[in-house]
Amino acid sequence: MLVTAVKTTDQGGHHGLSFLIVERGEGVRSSALEKLGWHASDTAEIQFEDAFVPEENLLGQENGGFYLIMANFQWERLLMALGAVGAMKVAFERTREFALQRQAFGKPIAHHQVIRHKLAEIAVTVEAGRDVTYAALRRYVAGEDAAREVTIAKLATQRSAFDVIDTCLQIHGGAGYMKEYGIERAARDARLGPIGGGTDEIMKEILGRSLGL
């Protein structure tokens, strides 16, 4: 069973989108796509050819699918911000532990100023990301208009998460490049953040307009 957003009119842009439930079977084909990260989440190319969809499989109003998509965007973006904060925190804690155990020049690498400063900068980034994300979450849960705050949270956390985890990988050195430590997977998974749920560029555009620009 597939939930699809399909064009149901000849109108341009976002007009004429409808949500349909399409049963797998005759007229429906799919082929898996390989990707950089998020291997636990299946992604595939789906092809429809003369696939029959009964009227009762319409979700919501015909040609009103765009509004359903927009209604879900805020929660999706907020979830991505929360996920990025969690990923940064886990990467920081694992890297801190590694840096306290890994010895170089007679002492743990965490006690060398260059590593200590990098970890301090990461801690600031994690805390800042968490603060703006939790502020957006509070407004969203309270039923307030949190579009601006959610946009800021997503924009502030996604690229930061990738940069933080990349720094954590660097601190791990060659070990970070190995699958054993999990940092390389975290880096691959984090790269989707500035793309999925609305790219960084789209977030800047939304935020800029909310500022009257």
CA distance linking residue 122 with residue 114, whole number of Å: 13
Give the Å distances, CA to CA, from 166 to 40, 158, 162, 185.
21, 13, 6, 11
Mind telling me the catalytic residues? Answer: 76
Q: At what angle do helices 147-172 and 65-101 cross, to 10 degrees?
A: 30
Q: Are 15 and 7 in contact (CB under 8 A)?
A: no
Residues in CB range of 135: below 8 A, 6 or more apart = 149, 153
3-state secondary structure of 102: coil
99 burial class (0-12, 13-18, 19+ CB within 10 angstroms)? buried
Give the Å distances, CA to CA, from 131 to 27, 30, 85, 91, 128.
48, 41, 10, 18, 5
- Three-state SS across 35-62? CCCCCCCCCEEEEECCCCCCHHHEECCC
